[in-house]
Structure 1
Amino acid sequence: MPGKVTLIATAAMGLESIVSKEVKALGYEDVEVENGRVIFQADVSAIPRTNLWLRTADRVKLLVGRFKATSFDQLFEETKALPWETFIEEDGEFPVVGKSVKSKLYSVPDCQAIVKKAIVERLKKKHGVASWLKETGSFYRVEVAIHKDEALLTIDTSGSGLHKRGYRVGQGEAPLKETMAAALVQITNWHPDKPFVDPFCGSGTIAIEAALIGQNIAPGFNREFASEGWGFIPQKAWDDAFQEAEDAADYDQPLDITGSDLDPKMIEIARKNAMEAGLGELVSWKQMQMNDLKPKQDGGYIVSNPPYGERIGDREEVEQMYRDLGMIMRDYPSWSVYILTSHEGFEKLYGQSATKKRKLFNGYIKTDYYQYFGKKKKQTAKGF
C-alpha cells in the first residue's frame, strides 16, 4: 500500500479557490492551486474522504506522474517508469483517455495507445504475467493530459463526476450543476439559522445544496465511487469515511429554506429531487410568481440562477423580471441578494450596483455572480 499519494481535485474555472478552501477544511495542508485544479499530498484515506465531502470539485484524480514529453519514445519510457503496479491490480481494467493542448504530441489516439502499451509492459513485468492482462477486475480510468509538452498521468478515483450526487430524478432545460449550486451557496455568508430563498428554483438544485450544507450532510453520501473496489485502499478507510460523514451530519438543525417557481411541473420535480436527497419536507416548495415574493423575516438570503434571456423572445420578459426583483428587494434592505446571470446589463436593470461581482462559468456560459450584501439593523441604545 502506498503511503502518501498526490491527489488532484479538478474544478470549474473560477471555483479553484473554493475547492482549495474545502480541501484545507478537511485537514489537508499541502495544497497548491493551478488553473482548473487543486493539487495536494495526503494519506490514501483522503481518497474516500474527499470524494464524499468535496461539494464544489468536479472529480478527484490520483496523480501517477508528471513529466516533459516531446516525442513518443519519451512518452513511452517515462510512462513505463512509473509505479503503476502500486495502484492497478493484475486483473485491473484500465482504459486510457487523453487530451493534448499546444503540444508537439498532438495526436490524442497515438498518445493513448502509447500510454496503454507502456502500462501493459510495466504491469506484466511487475505482476509476472507472461501473456496478456485479463482486465476483468476493478475499473481504473487512466488519463494522459498533455499541455505545452508536459504530460500529466492520472487515474480517476470518482467514476461519475462529483456533481452527480444521486438525488436528481428530474431536471429542467438548462440545469445548474450541483457543484456550481453548492459554490453559489458557499460564496455567500449564509448560516443555517437564516431564511434562504431561491425564487427561480427550477428543479431545486440550489435550495437542495443549501439544505445539505445547512445540515452538514456529505454530498457524496448517496452514491458510489470508482475507487471503492481498489485493492490498495483498505476497506476500513471507506468504512471510516462513511461513518465520519454519518457522525458529522446535523439532522436536527432546523432550516428555513424555500424554493419557488412559476412552473408547477418544476416544483413537482424539485420536490421529488429533495425527497431523493433524503431531505423530506425540510425545504418548502411553492408554485408562485416572483412578484409575490414578500419576506416575513429580516436578514434573509436570496440565492438564484434566474433565466438569462439569451433566447431573443425571452429577453424583454427577463429584463422586466430583473427590474421587478430590484423594486421588491428595495423594501427588504436587510436581505442579501446573490444572482448568477450572463446578462451584462443586470445591475442597471436591478437598479443598484452590486457590492461585489465574481466571474464564473456556468457550463460554457460566461456569467457574473452579483452579490448585494444586506444592511445590518442598527441596535437601539437602551435607556438608563
Structure 2
Amino acid sequence: MAEAFFSPCPRGLETLLADELRSFGASGIQTLHGGVAWQGDWAACHRANLESRLATRVMWRVAQGRYRAEVDIYKLAYSVTWAKWFTPDDTIRIYVTAQKSPLKSLEFITLRVKDAVCDHFRTVSGKRPSVDTANPAVRIHLFLTADTATLYIDTSGEPLYKRGFKPAAVEAPLKENLAAGILRLSGWQPDEVLLDPMCGSGTFLIEAAMMALDIAPGLGRRFGFEKFRHHDRAGWAAVRKAAENRRQAPRRLAIHGSDIVGEWVRRSRVNLEAGGLADCVTLERADLLERVPPAAEGVMVTNPPYGVRIGEAEELAALYPKLGDALKQRWGGWRCYFFTADANLPKLIGLKASKRTPLFNGALECRLYEYRMVAGSNRRKEREETAGD
C-alpha cells in the first residue's frame, strides 16, 4: 500500500530532489515550493532517509482536512490513531508552520495539537506522552494553508543533512544537502578533478567523496522511523545491507581542498577523518590567488565569504577583481562555480557568468555562478576569429 510523504529541501533543489526520489521508487511526485510531495511504500521511505543527499526530512502524512477555526484542528488531530504508531512512553514535540492561515496564534495551535494527541492517548491507554523540545522520540508536524490542515509524523528524526559526523564545523557552515545539490548542479562527475579552494570545514569535499565512493549519507546515523511500533525491521535491514554492499572502500580520489587559513584546513582534515575519508582527499594550505591548478582541466566549487561581518564587504570588493585575474591567468580549461549571497561578486570579478542559479541557504537568497574558463589556445582562437569577422 502506498503511503503519502513530503520531503522538504533547500529551495532551488526541488527538481533534483524529485529525480532522486524517483530513483528510490517514489511515485505520484509533485514538485512544490521548498520540497516534493510523493507516494511510496515503506521501503521507498527507508531508502529516501538512508540515501537521499538532498532531502532535509521525510515526513509521513497521517491526516488532512479542511478547517475554519482552532477547534477543527483539534478534532482532526484527536481523530488520528497515534497509539498505533507510538506509545505514551515516547516523548513528543509539535511543530507548526503556516502559509496564509487566518489563525492568529501558531503558538496556541501548537498547544491545541499537543492537547489533542495527549487526549487521544488518555482515552486509549489512560496515560499521556510527555513533551521534549530538545530530543523528542516522535516529531509531529502540522502544516496550514488558508483552509487546509495537514498532519505529518517525521520519519527522519534529526534533519537528514546531519550525516552523523563532522564535529569541527566552522562558523556559518553550509548544510550538507545544499552542498550536495550544488555539486549536482555543477555537473561534476567522480572521474573529473574537483577542487574547493576555500574549503572551510570541508563540506563540499566530504559530500563529493561520499558520492564518488557511493556511500549512502545516512549510514552513520539513526532515524525516527526506527522507533515506530509498526517498524518493519527486516525490510529496513535489507535496505541498509544493500547500501552497505554498494559502499566502496576508501581510496585516493581526484578531490582537492585548500584554504588560506591553516586552522580551517586542519578542521577539514578532522571532519574527513571523522567520516573515514581522510586518505581520499588531498588537502593543503594555499591562497587561491596564488595557487596553481591540480590538473589541466577540472571543476572548481566553492562557497566564499558573504561579506556579512564588519569589514568583510570591503575586503571582498578588493578580492573579486584579483580573483577574476587569477582565473583568467591560470585556470583555463576549468569550470568554476561560486556560491554566494554577495551581489558584488558578479559585478567585480570581471568575468561573464555562463549560468546563474538561484538557491537559498536557509532564508538567505544566494546564487550559484558558473564561469567556464577557456583554455589558452582556445582563447587565442576566439580572438583570431573575432578579429577576422
With structure 2 as the length reference, what TM-score do the two structures score? 0.89
Q: Secondary structure at the match of 1:241?
A: helix
For 1:144-183, what aligned pairs fall within 5 Å after superposition?
A: 144-183=142-181
Distance 1:81 1:168, change over 3 A: same
Q: Is the 8 A contact 1:194 1:256 kept in 2?
A: yes
Establish whether residue 194 from structure 1 lines up as the match of residue 192 from structure 2. Answer: yes
Give 1:297's match in structure 2, choosing from 291, 295, 298: 295
Q: Is the 8 A contact 1:341 1:367 kept in 2?
A: yes
Q: Is the 8 A contact 1:198 1:303 kept in 2?
A: yes
- Report the residue type matching 1:348 in the other structure: K
For 1:47-196, what aligned pairs fall within 5 Å after superposition?
A: 47-89=45-87, 91-123=89-121, 128-129=124-125, 131-133=126-128, 139-196=137-194
Deviations 1:64-107 (A, max 9, x none): 12222111232222333334344334644333232344323232
Q: Residue 373 of structure 1 aligns with which residue?
A: 372
Establish whether residue 219 from structure 1 lines up as the match of residue 213 from structure 2. Answer: no
Shift of 1:173: 1.8
Distance in 2, Cα, partners of 1:112 & 1:199: 45
Distance 1:33 1:228, change over 3 A: same
Distance 1:111 1:304, change over 3 A: same
Distance in 2, Cα, partners of 1:116 & 1:42: 28
Distance in 1, Cα, partners of 2:304 & 2:12: 20
Q: Is the 8 A contact 2:70 2:109 kept in 1?
A: yes
Distance in 1, Cα, partners of 2:130 & 2:294: 61
Shift of 1:124: 5.1
Q: Residue 29 of structure 1 aligns with which residue?
A: 27
Distance in 2, Cα, partners of 1:296 & 1:277: 24
Q: Secondary structure at the match of 2:4?
A: strand
- Report the residue type matching 2:157 in the other structure: G
Q: Is the 8 A contact 1:100 1:107 kept in 2?
A: no
Q: Secondary structure at the match of 1:207?
A: helix
- Report the residue type matching 1:200 in the other structure: M
Gaps of 5+ in 2: 379-389
Q: Is the 8 A contact 2:119 2:128 kept in 1?
A: no
Q: Secondary structure at the match of 2:158?
A: coil
Identity fraction in percent? 30
Q: Residue 40 of structure 1 aligns with which residue?
A: 38
For 1:230-245, what aligned pairs fall within 5 Å after superposition?
A: 230-245=228-243
Establish whether residue 313 from structure 1 lines up as the match of residue 319 from structure 2. Answer: no
Distance in 2, Cα, partners of 1:247 & 1:235: 18
Shift of 1:121: 4.3
Q: Is the 8 A contact 2:142 2:149 kept in 1?
A: yes
Q: Residue 382 of structure 1 aligns with which residue?
A: none
Q: Is the 8 A contact 1:197 1:301 kept in 2?
A: yes
Distance 1:372 1:82, change over 3 A: same
For 1:357-372, what aligned pairs fall within 5 Å after superposition?
A: 357-372=356-371
Distance in 2, Cα, partners of 1:312 & 1:252: 41
Q: Residue 382 of structure 2 aligns with which residue?
A: none
- Report the residue type matching 2:10 in the other structure: A
Q: Residue 334 of structure 2 aligns with which residue?
A: 335
- Report the residue type matching 1:234 in the other structure: D
Distance in 1, Cα, partners of 2:367 & 2:113: 40
- The 10-residue stretch of structure 1 (109-118 or 275-284) with the greater mean CA deviation from structure 2: 109-118
Q: Is the 8 A contact 1:15 1:56 kept in 2?
A: yes
Distance in 2, Cα, partners of 1:315 & 1:95: 40
What RMSD, in angstroms, separates the aligned Cα atoms of the two structures?
2.4
Gaps of 5+ in 1: 379-384
Distance in 1, Cα, partners of 2:324 & 2:116: 60
How many residue pairs were aligned?
373
Distance 1:296 1:263, change over 3 A: closer
Q: Residue 246 of structure 1 aligns with which residue?
A: 244
Q: Residue 273 of structure 2 aligns with which residue?
A: 275
Distance in 2, Cα, partners of 1:111 & 1:292: 56
Establish whether residue 263 from structure 1 lines up as the match of residue 251 from structure 2. Answer: no
Distance in 1, Cα, partners of 2:202 & 2:130: 41
Shift of 1:200: 0.5
